[in-house]
Chains A and B, each alone.
Chain A
Amino acid sequence: MERLSFDFACRGDPAPLLAPILVGVVASGNLEVLVEGGAPPGRCRLEVLTSARGFGEIWEAVLRDFATRHSLSGLAVSVNDAGATPAVVSLRLDQAVDEYLRRP
Chain B
Amino acid sequence: MTGPARSFREATARRRLEGVLDPGSFREILGPAHRLTSPHLAALDLPVSFDDGAVVGSGLLGGRPVLAAAQEGGFMGGGVGEVHGAKLAGLLGLAERQPWAGVLLLLDSGGVRLQEANAGLLAVSEVMRAVLSARAASVPVVALVGGGWGCFGGMGIVARCCDAIAMSEEGRLGVTGPDVLETTKGVEELDASDRAAVWRTYGGKHRYLLGEADRLIEDDLSAFREAAMELLSARRDLGLEELEREHRHLGRRLEEFGGCADARDVWRAAGVEDPDRLPGLEPADFRAAVRAARRGDR
> Are chains A and B native binding partners rather than an unrelated pairing?
yes
Residues of A bordering B, CB below 8 Å: 1, 20, 22, 25-27, 30, 32, 34, 36, 49, 51, 78, 80-82
Q: Is the pair A27, B31 in contact by a Cβ cutoff of 8 Å?
A: no
Binds A, one of B44-52, B86-94, B221-229, B230-238: B44-52
Cross-chain pairs A/B with CB under 8 angstroms, 27 sampled: A1-B42, A1-B45, A1-B47, A20-B31, A20-B32, A20-B33, A22-B31, A22-B32, A22-B50, A25-B12, A25-B72, A25-B74, A26-B47, A26-B48, A26-B49, A26-B74, A26-B75, A32-B32, A34-B32, A36-B33, A49-B48, A80-B47, A80-B48, A80-B49, A80-B50, A81-B47, A82-B47
Q: Are A32 and B33 in contact (CB under 8 A)?
A: no
Query: B14 on the interface (CB 8 Å rule)?
Result: yes
- Smallest Cβ distance from B136 to chain A, in angstroms? 34
Residues from chain B with a CB closer than 8 A to the CB of A36 are: 33
If over half of B's interface residues share one DSSP class (helix, strand or loop), that class is named, otherwise mixed; here it is loop
Please measure, in the bound complex, the distance between the C-alpha atom of A80 and the C-alpha atom of B46, giving whole angstroms: 10
Q: Which residues of A contact B51 (CB under 8 A)?
A: 22
Q: Which residues of B contact A (CB under 8 A)?
A: 12, 14, 31-33, 42, 45-51, 72, 74-75
B50 A32 Cβ-Cβ under 8 A = yes
- Complexed CA–CA distance, A22 and B33 (Å): 8
Nearest-CB residue, chain B, relative to A50 = B47
Alpha-carbon distance A50/B244, docked complex (angstroms): 52
CB distance from B39 to the nearest CB of A (A): 13
Number of A-B residue pairs with CB-CB distance less than 8 Å in the complex they form: 43
CA distance A51 to B253 in the complex (A): 48
B26 to chain A, nearest CB (A): 12
- A-B pairs with the 5 shortest C-beta distances? A27-B74, A25-B74, A20-B33, A22-B32, A26-B49
Residues of B within 8 A of A78 (CB): 50
Which chain B residue shows the least CB distance to A38? B33
Q: How far is the CA of A36 from the CA of B35 in the complex (A)?
A: 12
Q: Which residues of A contact B31 (CB under 8 A)?
A: 20, 22
Contacts of A22 in B (CB 8 A): 14, 31-32, 50-51
Q: Which residues of B contact A26 (CB under 8 A)?
A: 47-49, 74-75
In the complex, what residue of chain A is closest to B33 when comparing beta carbons? A20
Which residues of the partner chain B approach A81 to less than 8 Å between Cβ atoms? 47
The distance in angstroms between the C-alpha atoms of A27 and B42, with both chains bound, is 16
Q: Which residue on B lies nearest to A76, using beta carbons?
A: B33
Which residue of chain A has the shortest Cβ distance to B12 in the bound complex?
A25
A34–B48 CA distance with the chains assembled, in angstroms: 13
> CB-CB < 8 A to B32: which residues of A?
20, 22, 32, 34
Distance A51 CA – B75 CA, assembled complex (angstroms): 14
Identify the closest chain B residue to A78 (Cβ). Answer: B50
17 additional contacts, CB 8 Å, given A25-B74, A32-B32? A1-B45, A20-B31, A20-B33, A22-B32, A25-B12, A26-B47, A26-B48, A26-B49, A26-B75, A27-B74, A34-B32, A34-B33, A36-B33, A49-B47, A49-B48, A80-B50, A82-B47
What is the bound-complex CA distance between A82 and B74, given in angstroms? 11
**A91–chain B nearest beta-carbon distance, Å:** 15
A20 and B72 CA atoms in complex are apart in Å by 18
- In whole Å, how far is B58's beta carbon from the nearest beta carbon of chain A? 16
The distance in angstroms between the C-alpha atoms of A51 and B12, with both chains bound, is 22
With a CB–CB cut-off of 8 A, which chain A residues contact B48?
26, 49, 80
- Chain B residues contacting A32 (CB-CB under 8 Å) are 32, 49-50
User: How far is it, in angstroms, between the C-alpha of A1 and the C-alpha of B31 when the chains are bound?
Assistant: 23
Tell me the complex Cα distance, A34–B102, Å: 30
A25: chain B residues at CB < 8 Å are 12, 49, 72, 74-75
**Docked-complex contact B33 and A51, CB < 8 angstroms:** no
